[in-house]
Chains A and B, each alone.
Chain A
Amino acid sequence: MVLTYRVKRRQLIRLAAGTALSATTLTGCGLLGNDPEPVPPPDALQPVLDEALQLAAAYDRAVLAEPGLAKRLQPLAEDHRTHAAELARVIGVTLPSGAPASSAPAAGGDAADSVATLRKAELAALKTASTACRTAPADRAGLTGSIAAARATHAEALR
């Protein structure tokens, strides 16, 4: 019984591998070009980290466009960088060094626009962090909970 099961399982794996291979080959011919090696699924905290970096960069751009906002926005950007550093440590990834704070030219629009956009982005990021917190293992619940709360306070500070 066990033997039969094992054989079947091995066949199944081989079958699955074959399918994966042909899928890879097909994709390889497509728009995406060379497929990377199969990678482990991303950490559940990765989206939270991505948003922290994106928000920090968005604040930097807003300050570049409107230096008068620096006093108001820089502490918020700093919070996001603090989150990103801790998330990277917990996930076990290295942050890209020298975030391109000054490279991206500011998009058009006045200061009020950018503050409203930033607030929207904070509220979206709050949702991500809240979801992460609700489903996190115990040792990540406080981390993600505080990040969610910080994002909520940022949205409040931008009202």
Chain B
Amino acid sequence: MTEQLSAALAAEEAAIYAYGMVGVQLTGEGDLAEARAAEAAHRARRDALISRMSALKASAAPAPAGYELPFEVTDRAAALKLAIQVEDGVAQAWRAVLPASEGADRAAALNALIDSAVRATRWRRLAEVTPATMAWPGKA
């Protein structure tokens, strides 16, 4: 399970970084509130993961100082597109934890998967991307 948890941790770290880039390009109150809430949620997940991994005596790779974004984020449209990609990626990382875990770990992974999928849907609605849902969230 620790392998999947460390992939989830890497995804959460990347999400926190990406939301920094996303936030800069957003000005609307609704957009900003969503981005702030999302970033806070990813920070909380990261912290929970770090403490779980430390309890498991699993070592986590340090987060890189910077990331290469998949595309330039220079306006709202690109920011929303990145937010959608980030949430889809986090959902994939957490889905991979499900078969490798059980009990409280699986329940936590499921909650994280659901939260990311719901946020991805919210971003799709804000970006007016249709459909706003997919049949298999988290499935790569």
Contacts and interface: CB of A to CB of B under 8 A. Distances in A.
Nearest to A145: B98
Contacts of B116: 149
Interface in A88-147: 126, 130, 133-134, 138-139, 141-142, 145-146
B138 interface: yes
Interface string B98-140: 1110000011011001101110111001000011111111110
Interface stretch (A30-38, A42-50, A61-69, A77-85): A77-85
B98 A142 contact: yes
Contacts of B132: 153, 156-157
A141 B133 contact: no
B99 A150 contact: no
Interface size class of A (residues with CB under 8 A): 20 to 34
> Among the interface residues A76, A78, A145, which one has the most CB atoms of the partner chain B within 10 A?
A145
B95 interface: yes
A134 B109 CA distance: 10
A138 B99 contact: yes
> Among the interface residues B96, B109, B118, which one has the most CB atoms of the partner chain A within 10 A?
B118
Contact of B139 (A79, A134, A142): A142
Interface size class of B (residues with CB under 8 A): 20 to 34
Nearest to A137: B99
B138 to A, nearest CB: 5
B122 A146 contact: no
A79 B98 contact: no
A154 B98 contact: no
A76 B131 CA distance: 9
B107 to A, nearest CB: 5
A44 to B, nearest CB: 15
B137 A149 contact: yes
A79 B132 CA distance: 12
B57 to A, nearest CB: 23
Contact of A156 (B110, B121, B131): B121
Contacts of B99: 138-139, 141-142
Interface of B: 91, 95-96, 98-100, 106-107, 109-110, 113-114, 116-118, 120-122, 125, 130-139
Given A141-B99, A149-B118, A157-B121, 18 more contacts: A76-B131, A79-B133, A82-B136, A133-B110, A134-B106, A134-B110, A141-B106, A142-B139, A145-B95, A146-B138, A146-B139, A149-B117, A150-B133, A152-B117, A153-B117, A153-B121, A153-B137, A156-B121
